[in-house]
């Protein structure tokens, strides 16, 4: 867990947002610019960017012997600069059949970005009051 927190801290510091844009605490290859357009006005009314960050954990990999690609993404919101894995989160897993000779880093990034975008769309589709459930310490 300490390693994940350290990675999120580093990723968050690299994804500095301009005024009004969310900080994305991202562990994976997806950048803030890849998902910023999905953040709705209703969402930012409930979770102002100066107090909250969007947490993203994502990965994509291949099973070359089977010609399969797999991606997984977990997203949620956390109070800004807490680097918490969201207690209430939204996740998605996808698989795809691939042609190995056409699979490269660009394809892998597009596949992973698609997973993250789908998870964020799922998060944006519910009532913003149901998105974040705080940890009880």
pLDDT (tens, 9 = 90+) of the chain, 137 residues, equals 443 333 333 344 334 344 456 677 778 899 888 998 998 888 888 999 889 988 999 999 888 778 899 999 999 999 988 878 898 999 999 999 988 777 888 888 999 999 999 999 999 998 888 899 888 87
Distances (CA, A) of 117 to 13, 39, 87, 122: 21, 10, 20, 9
Distance (Å, rounded) from C-alpha 128 to C-alpha 56?
Answer: 17
Q: Which of 15, 50, 33, 49 is nearest to 24 (CA)?
A: 15
Give the residue among 62, 56, 58 at the shortest CA–CA distance from 105.
Answer: 62
- pTM exceeds 0.85 for this model: no
pLDDT of residue 76: 93
């Amino acid at each position: 867990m300490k390693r994940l927190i350290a990675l999120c801290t580093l990723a968050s510091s690299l994804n500095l947002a301009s005024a009004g844009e969310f900080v994305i605490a991202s562990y994976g290859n997806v950048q803030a610019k890849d998902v910023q357009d999905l953040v709705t006005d209703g969402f930012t009314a409930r979770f102002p960017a100066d107090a909250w960050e969007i947490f993203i954990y994502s990965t994509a990999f291949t099973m070359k012997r089977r010609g399969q690609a797999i991606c997984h993404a977990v997203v949620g919101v956390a109070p800004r600069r807490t680097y918490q894995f969201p207690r209430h989160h939204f996740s998605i897993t996808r698989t795809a059949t691939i042609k190995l000779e056409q699979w490269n880093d660009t394809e892998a990034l597009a596949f992973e970005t698609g997973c993250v975008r789908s998870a964020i769309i799922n998060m944006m589709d519910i009532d913003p009051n149901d998105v974040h459930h705080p940890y009880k310490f």
